Structure 1
Amino acid sequence: MSADPSVILHTDRPAAALAVLKETHPDLTVHACDSYAALPALIGRAAAEVVFSVRFDGTPRYPRQALVDSPTVKWVSVGGSGTDHLGRWDPERLTVTNSAGVAAGMLAEFALGAMLSFSLDLRGFARRQQVRQWGGGRVEPIEGKTVLIIGLGKTGEAVAKRARAMGMGTLGIRAHPKPTPCLDEVQGVDALLPLIGRADFIICCVPLLPTTRGLLGEAAFAAMKASAVLIDISRGGVVEEAALLAALNARRIKGAVLDVFTTEPLPADHPLWSYDNVAITPHCAAVYDGWDITSVRMFADNLKRYRSGMPLQNVVNPERGY
């Protein structure tokens, strides 16, 4: 840790990020990198100590080894909240922080919109409009429905706040249960199946970890109401896609809104594209205009702490993934 670290901004919008660092840390020399391929060499040339990095070109090509194995990099600041693309790292040698909360409000609004879309049958009305059909379909109130929020980080709590404002019952699952604002009931993962059977909407917003991979599988779908809707804003791999497809084919659930997938981009021949009761978005629920600048400003604030020797905020435990 030094007061004058060598810094790299690894993002597809380096000019905007550099402007923030020029404003907040005008004395630092900051290097920019807008590709995955160029990052390893730049880390070596710059003897980088600090790297702010955005996963802007997918996970498979992400240059994780250049970061986690570098002899000079001491701190990686992740531009989003998820860190699964970094794999494992040695916390004794490398500190990883994230930007948890940078998109919590947007993700919560996405989840609320997804619930309203089903309760108002907006997809059904859109289909009838295309064939100029008057009549059919019905709306129902969201008030009085029950939502189960799996994962109560900043996003989960933001979802709970909005659901409570809509008059919904709120249930929550978190690794270490504790009373949480806007939640009627919070339990541990071992209570997943009993709680999931009480929910009209299931919102998944946990990180992808060994303990959460496949968390929503065959048993979870079997426990859901036939009228339940799944909304996945977590990471691909938390929901077992084979179990989801089986549930959709057997009409064991009402439908799903999916923003994340095991393989991204979702292959054009993937069967999920063909369901009328499934809404697919391309891992964009957290991408709003200005999110990246907000994330860089969070990094800039943390960089002030780093340079002055203060503890960093949003440090990620590699065992927990958050």
Structure 2
Amino acid sequence: MSVMIGPSGWGGPGSIAEAAPGRQKSRNQEGNNHERLCNCPNRLARHRGTRSLSRGLSVRVRCSEPQNQNEYDEKLANHDECPQCRTVLNAADEMFNKFEGGRLPGRDGLRLPSEPARQRQTMTDTMRILVHAPRPEVIAGLIAERHPDAELTLCDSFAGLIEAAVADPHVAYTERFERKPYPREALLAQPSLRFVHASGAGINHLAPWDPDKVHVCNAGGVQDEGMAQFAIGRLIAINCHFFRYNDQQKQQVWEPHDVFHSTGGVLTVVGLGKIGRACARVAHALGMTVYGVRARPEPCGGVEEVVPPERMNEVLAKSDYVIVVTPLTDATHGLIGADAIAAMKPGIIIHNMARGHVITEEPLITALKSGHVRAASLDVFEEEPLPEGHPLWEMENVYVTPHIGGMITADDYDRLSTQVFLDNLDRFARGEPLVNITDPVRGY
């Protein structure tokens, strides 16, 4: 089931009533008859309905359950309420309760739009925005503050996204949060769609698309500093044996180990985008010499030299550490394979928080067993979740995290990612160029 929210008044009988199959009545006639026969104060058609919300909003629910035509006709003939009306009313009540009083769950103090906020709306046509997220009502509340006249469709699953996409959205906010194939075709096939916001940095699940028809933007910048701290923190933790000391503590073992200092070390960052540059800044501040690998090399503050992928092995050969944070594309799939690993300086530490398929796991495991690679901090894998019994689980010089490198609290992530989206939505409403536009060919 999907839920739609918009300004009060757009849900009248002429706009949402839908004639039953085989009936020849007009939309207005069917809606009015349905209201009279079913005694339904919200002018519900057999699949759809509206409920008024506070501050001039209303909610509309579309039910995808099959309709029994005979039962429907019988209910109408008996002047009774059809089962679909009951279904949509229940769903509308649930969403109504979330918005009642202008307050949203998980967002203390957040208010729905005031009159000054309404005056900021500059589009003459109502924007239709699809919100697909684990907590779509939170995102919807933030959008409603800035664009109170927008018509919103909310869904919280991939199945709901497939159903909700038929609402002909102009804009979509979407988050990949289920461990199953993303239904990109259902979304991108909509001819009305002009702008898609991916709530994270990665957009490979949306590719390919036609950039002449739709812009796909990401939330680049939201996770930069957090991921940089995560990456450098992992390298320091390995150098200082924090994980080993934690194990010793549990066993009540008092045994010191030599500490490796990061200052003076050499780091290569593979993928010198926004996150990669944040990693370089932190490493440089710690006194490390930093090299960068980038498809289109250009000077970067705090980086000794930026080289193209063709010269990657050259800088890996003199690096004590490598942080992999490049997008997954056809060009980067298997970028760090047997040849690159063999070219690495013996004793190197690898941290991968890009995508699992950027590093080929088999030669990496071989190098970890031999000691050629001293340790690996891995946040992403060729198969996720990492399968039970996989050799990486048991290796003492491997440190596994479940793809959480960019994790922050849910409220903070919603706020920061949505802020990037809202700024772009303002540009879209004014007809101005968008930022963070990604390229389906390059994959970022």
TM-score, length-normalised on structure 1? 0.96
Superposition pairs of residues 1-322 of structure 1, within 5 angstroms: 3-44=125-166, 46-58=167-179, 60-289=180-409, 290-322=412-444
Shifted more, 142-151 versus 14-23: the winner is: 14-23
Measured in 2, the distance between the counterparts of 1:4 and 1:308 equals 13
Measured in 1, the distance between the counterparts of 2:396 and 2:246 equals 11
Deviation, 1:236, is 1.8
Measured in 2, the distance between the counterparts of 1:236 and 1:86 equals 18
Deviation, 1:87, is 2.4
SS in 2 for 1:273: helix
Measured in 1, the distance between the counterparts of 2:233 and 2:137 equals 33
Deviation, 1:2, is 7.8
Deviation string for 1:249-269 (max 9, x for gaps)?
222110100111111111112
Measured in 2, the distance between the counterparts of 1:50 and 1:315 equals 14
Measured in 2, the distance between the counterparts of 1:3 and 1:221 equals 55
Measured in 2, the distance between the counterparts of 1:3 and 1:169 equals 53
Deviation, 1:69, is 2.0
Measured in 2, the distance between the counterparts of 1:230 and 1:2 equals 53
Q: Given that residues 353 and 378 in structure 2 are in contact (C-alpha distance below 8 angstroms), is that contact kept between their aligned partners in structure 1?
A: yes
SS in 1 for 2:373: coil
Deviation, 1:184, is 1.1
One-letter identity of the residue aligned with 1:281: T
One-letter identity of the residue aligned with 1:56: F
Deviation, 1:136, is 3.1
What is the aligned residue count?
Answer: 320
Deviation, 1:3, is 4.9
Deviation string for 1:84-132 (max 9, x for gaps)?
1112111112211111111011110011111101110112212222222
SS in 2 for 1:20: helix
Q: Given that residues 168 and 190 in structure 2 are in contact (C-alpha distance below 8 angstroms), is that contact kept between their aligned partners in structure 1?
A: no
Structure whose alpha-carbon radius of gyration is higher: 2
Measured in 2, the distance between the counterparts of 1:292 and 1:103 equals 12
RMSD: 1.3
Q: Given that residues 3 and 306 in structure 1 are in contact (C-alpha distance below 8 angstroms), is that contact kept between their aligned partners in structure 2?
A: no
SS in 1 for 2:306: strand
Identity level (%): 36
Q: Which has the higher helix share?
A: 2
SS in 2 for 1:37: helix
Distance 1:154 1:13, change over 3 A: same
Deviation, 1:137, is 1.3
SS in 1 for 2:205: helix
Q: Which runs of 5+ in 1 are unaligned?
A: none
One-letter identity of the residue aligned with 2:173: F
Q: Given that residues 2 and 307 in structure 1 are in contact (C-alpha distance below 8 angstroms), is that contact kept between their aligned partners in structure 2?
A: no
Aligned twin of 2:66: none
Structure scoring higher RCO (CA < 8 A, sep ≥ 6) equals 1
Distance 1:243 1:292, change over 3 A: farther
Distance 1:69 1:139, change over 3 A: same
Q: Given that residues 150 and 156 in structure 1 are in contact (C-alpha distance below 8 angstroms), is that contact kept between their aligned partners in structure 2?
A: yes
Q: Which runs of 5+ in 2 are unaligned?
A: 1-122
Deviation, 1:226, is 2.3
Deviation, 1:54, is 0.5
One-letter identity of the residue aligned with 1:10: H
One-letter identity of the residue aligned with 1:72: S
Measured in 2, the distance between the counterparts of 1:34 and 1:104 equals 26
Distance 1:3 1:249, change over 3 A: farther
One-letter identity of the residue aligned with 2:297: P
Q: Given that residues 207 and 443 in structure 2 are in contact (C-alpha distance below 8 angstroms), is that contact kept between their aligned partners in structure 1?
A: no
SS in 2 for 1:237: helix
Deviation string for 1:2-47 (max 9, x for gaps)?
8532101110011211121111111212121101011122111x21
